[in-house]
Amino acid sequence: MSNLKLGVEVVRGHNLMPKDGQGSSSTFVELHFDDQKFRTTVKEKDLNPYWNETFYFNISNPNNLHNLSLEARVYNSEKTTDSKSLLGKVRITGTSFVPNSDAVVFNYPLEKGSIFSRARGELGLKVYVTDDPSIKSSIPLREMDSTSYSSLHSVEGEAPYQKLVNVVSDLFGGRKKGKTQTFHHLPNSNNQQQRHPSSSTSNQPIKYGVDDMSYEAHAPLVGHMYPGSSSQPVDYLLEETSPYLGGGQVVGGWLSRSDKPSSTYDLVEPMQFLFVRVVKARDLPSKDVTGSLDPYVEVKLGNYKGVTKHFEKSQNPEWNTVFAFSKDRMQSSVLEVVVKDKNMVKDDFVGTIRFDLQEIPMRVPPDSPLAPEWYRLEDKKGEKKRGELMVAVWIGTQADEAFPDAWHSDAASPVDSSGTSTYIRSKVYQSPRLWYVRVNIIEAQDLVVAEKNRLPNVHVKAQIGNQVLKTKPVQTQTMNAQWNEDLMFVAAEPFDDFLILLVEDRVGPSKDEILGRVVIPLATVERRADNRMVHSRWFNLQKASSTEVEESKKDKFASRVHLRVSLDGGYHVLDESTHYSSDLRPTAKQLWKPPIGILELGILSANSVHPMKTRNGRGTSDTFCVAKYSQKWIRTRTIIDCLNPKYNEQYAWEVFDPATVLTIGVFDNGHIGENVSQGNRDVKIGKVRIRISTLETGRVYTHSYPLLVLHPSGVKKMGELHLAIRFSCTSMVNMMCLYSRPLLPKMHYVRPLTMMQLDILRHQAVSVVAARLSRSEPPLRKEIVEYMTDADSHIWSMRRSKANFFRLMSVFSGLLSFGKWFKEVCMWRNPITSVLVHVLFIMLVCVPELILPTVFVYMFLIGLWNYRFRPRYPPHMNTRLSYADSVHPDELDEEFDTFPTRQNTDLVRMRSLFSFTWEMAINMMRHEIATHIIEVPSSSSLAI
């Protein structure tokens, strides 16, 4: 049998045709050669997929190689119909095959499968012939596997948890023996052990399939990685850039100042815009038979057209509207400002003004705004007519004060002025200041129940807005009840809500009778910044109906309740995930410390954004960015119909604590398009987090961050976000003092809240913030606030539990290593080391004054040694630490499953069994830790 083999590396696809009706395709590649067939994994909803999978074909007759041909077919997998559709194919004849040393990656254009079909895009392949005997041929697909990907998934996934149970049960034993416990969801999963990227393909991104799961450390990737980053696909790593910004070119993290004067927009690329301010008109001629005029102004530059609102029956209207046309998209040398009359059938022409772009002045801030002028309107023949229009036209940059409120040509389609301008402008939002409301319900007296012969079973229900809490029921022998319970709520300034307390009597199952109510305006509640005692008060209970109120006036005594209510400003109200908080200050302003620095963010652009919708038969996106730090939220303008948008907007925040995180998210605008009526939810694309403590003072970080999102099919790259970040410290002494103080305010330690309370209150805080920001214009919708604040971070999943467990193990790895080393010293496995340790031990026993100096010197030397390995770049999401790239598909299905579940009972029972097995594995690991740390041989000469 011949050792000659044909190697085919399927690298990537580019600009493939959408087939699923949503502007995307779930693509895979089938390879056919010499009666052998191989298939790659499916890349869900990706028109630019990366596979980087290698297959080896047996060449049965090398002498007949020139008569053979390799055919690569790109399919779209349709799981709902269990079928596949052809996107295009590539045919390579045997005369084109070259040895491995001469092979390079070549992008082949896709051909049509038939006369009536269509094809688009390219397929990157590397094809070569090798006779390396160490390379084994891949296992070809069986005939039954020639169906769709979903059927293959069902064949291999019949008993995934049985495999997982076997892996977990032998997990720790396999580690001790040095074995790797690995299984593959798909057959022939790329043969990664046999694939070695050559120098010709080292610049290609290497991507690991999400269908593989390994409990062993992965081999390091060949490619450029930043120091301190774990081994993960190169396509998921940060890429440092050197763009030309307003302050000069960024070289090595520092701005190389140019001769141009610096401006406040020195972290973004300067973009020039043609600004047109339409102020007002006067003495316009009437066009209707009745003598009335409904004027509006149309500003045209090439194919771009901006329109003001129209005024009914007004010959002297005032608009004061600004239009901004990007200089990069200017399609004409003449600007036209046309005044028209609004009609039902066809709008009438009133007059026009034309400007030559060569004559328009340039304005550079801090120059004063250009004064508008009156211009006489002209007719279509160029003759001066009745009516004047006040207009100002100038060329400026995004630093112009008119930029945020202007209508943008790059934020609207070329043929439509769009009535959704409100939803596409950049805005700055201020999150409301949140307070914890503590309601201490002490007791109630002189309760009046309907049935005199029955003992009351009383509880108190408290409500603020949509937040409802209850005390424990108390069955009393008298008409008095005592609780002494604390109920915690979240309220936002200004305090428009009321605290409503209902005293209820349980008269039957799920049936309560209201005995009375108390309504307390939150604006009248006492505020406190420490743990001082608030004076309690008695409140008279009011009846619900008016007739009962009249009857209660006849009573000699009124029912009342004893309360202690306060607004606790000494806490920080957690409205974000505790791991990624952007603000740790207490609510009370008198407890705030001065800021320690300024954080500046330049949102430059987004690249290769995944299409989120279909328009005119092609995939596209209408993207905008949202950034959150402290109480300040920012939203960039929406760039419509663009997969590589350029924003170039700069913002700044005050920093009060370096142990905080800046979050930037990218979204697709749901208010633009034809399907707005069906649902206007803004769709998440991805987000980036920057930890302030990882930034050097004064340095400019310009990196391209990959937008990684976990989908039901695995980790998916949705594009890249290009940012420029700078942290300027105003007081280094104050910043260093913060590291010696607790992370949270003092009240969190003096009177701590339980974990259950914090989770409930955080959920309430997110709801309050989302409700308040959704009332802005344009609104920051609830789905954006929840995604930016990680509102679902408390939800349990097997992947998260594994990630947290192995992170915990990595923390204790040093302690485990010390325990193993100490055991080896005690067993005298290395005599030299044991002798040195005994000498050091005797020396410290004889001279105990050297214990602390020795420990400090050792720690100093270790820190000095590790200092050169410190990360020089901000860390980014690591798919290996989160176990996102090695999780089993069934675990992903469990994580994205809804409640109630969509799966059958047997699968849910099997998942419960696996969870139990996983708990047993954790207990085994705990036992192993205890054994290595505590167990010391009795023969140890160090035992005292």
- pLDDT per residue over 781-798, tens digit each? 999 999 999 988 777 788
Out of 215-229, 253-267, 743-757, 771-785, pick the least confident.
215-229
Give the model's pLDDT for residue 149: 39
Residue type, 649: E
Confidence of residue 923 (pLDDT cuts 50, 70, 90): low
Higher-confidence position of 342 and 450: 342
**Whole-angstrom distance, CA of residue 729 vs CA of residue 697:** 6
Q: Assess contact for 669 and 638: CB atoms under 8 A.
A: yes
Q: Which of 65, 15, 13, 59 has the alpha carbon at shortest distance from 40?
A: 13
Tell me the DSSP string of 358-410: GGPPB--TTSPPPPPEEEEEE-TTS-EEEEEEEEEEEEEETTSTTSTTSEEGG
Q: Which of 338, 427, 340 has the alpha carbon at shortest distance from 375?
A: 338
> For the residues 295-319, what does the mean pLDDT come to?
88
Per DSSP, which regions of 712-850 are E strands? 714-729
Give bridge partners of residue 392 from the DSSP assignment.
277
> For the residues 750-776, what does the mean pLDDT come to?
92
- Distant-in-sequence, close-in-space partners of 911: CB < 8 Å, separation ≥ 6: 161, 890, 894
Q: β-strand 623-629 against 474-475: which pairing, if any?
A: unpaired
**Whole-angstrom distance, CA of residue 391 vs CA of residue 285:** 18
Q: Assess contact for 534 and 565: CB atoms under 8 A.
A: yes
Question: Residue 252 pLDDT more than 50?
Answer: yes
905-934 and 813-826 helices, crossing angle to 10°: 40
Give the model's pLDDT for residue 435: 95
Question: Residue 906 pLDDT more than 80?
Answer: no
Give the model's pLDDT for residue 732: 86
Top mean-pLDDT range of 121-125, 156-160, 193-197, 327-331: 121-125
Give the model's pLDDT for residue 674: 58
Give the model's pLDDT for residue 926: 59
- pLDDT per residue over 104-116, tens digit each? 788 888 988 877 7
**Whole-angstrom distance, CA of residue 900 vs CA of residue 334:** 61
Confidence of residue 865 (pLDDT cuts 50, 70, 90): confident
Q: Which of 688, 685, 721 has the alpha carbon at shortest distance from 703?
A: 721
- pLDDT per residue over 365-379, tens digit each? 777 888 999 999 998
- pLDDT per residue over 9-52, tens digit each? 999 898 898 887 778 888 999 999 988 999 999 988 888 898 98
Give the model's pLDDT for residue 191: 37
Question: Residue 739 pLDDT more than 60?
Answer: yes
Question: Residue 409 pLDDT more than 90?
Answer: no
Give the model's pLDDT for residue 156: 38
Higher-confidence position of 617 and 787: 787
Give the model's pLDDT for residue 936: 37
Give the model's pLDDT for residue 545: 58
Higher-confidence position of 775 and 911: 775
Confidence of residue 727 (pLDDT cuts 50, 70, 90): very high
Give the model's pLDDT for residue 28: 92
Map residue 826 onto helix, strand or coil. helix
Higher-confidence position of 700 and 287: 700
**Whole-angstrom distance, CA of residue 682 vs CA of residue 680:** 6
Q: Provide the token pair at 302.
A: 């090439």
- pLDDT per residue over 572-610, tens digit each? 999 998 888 999 999 999 899 999 999 999 999 999 999
**Whole-angstrom distance, CA of residue 712 vs CA of residue 90:** 30
Question: Residue 658 pLDDT more than 70?
Answer: yes
Give the model's pLDDT for residue 556: 44
Give the model's pLDDT for residue 97: 86
Give the model's pLDDT for residue 45: 85
> For the residues 138-147, what does the mean pLDDT come to?
53
- Can you tell me which residue has the tokens 């609207």? 412
Question: Residue 454 pLDDT more than 80?
Answer: no
User: What value does the mean pLDDT of the chain take?
Assistant: 80
Give the model's pLDDT for residue 919: 65
Alpha-carbon separation of residue 630 from 627, 634, 660, 781, 784 (angstroms): 10, 11, 9, 18, 16
Q: Which of 722, 727, 726 has the alpha carbon at shortest distance from 603?
A: 722
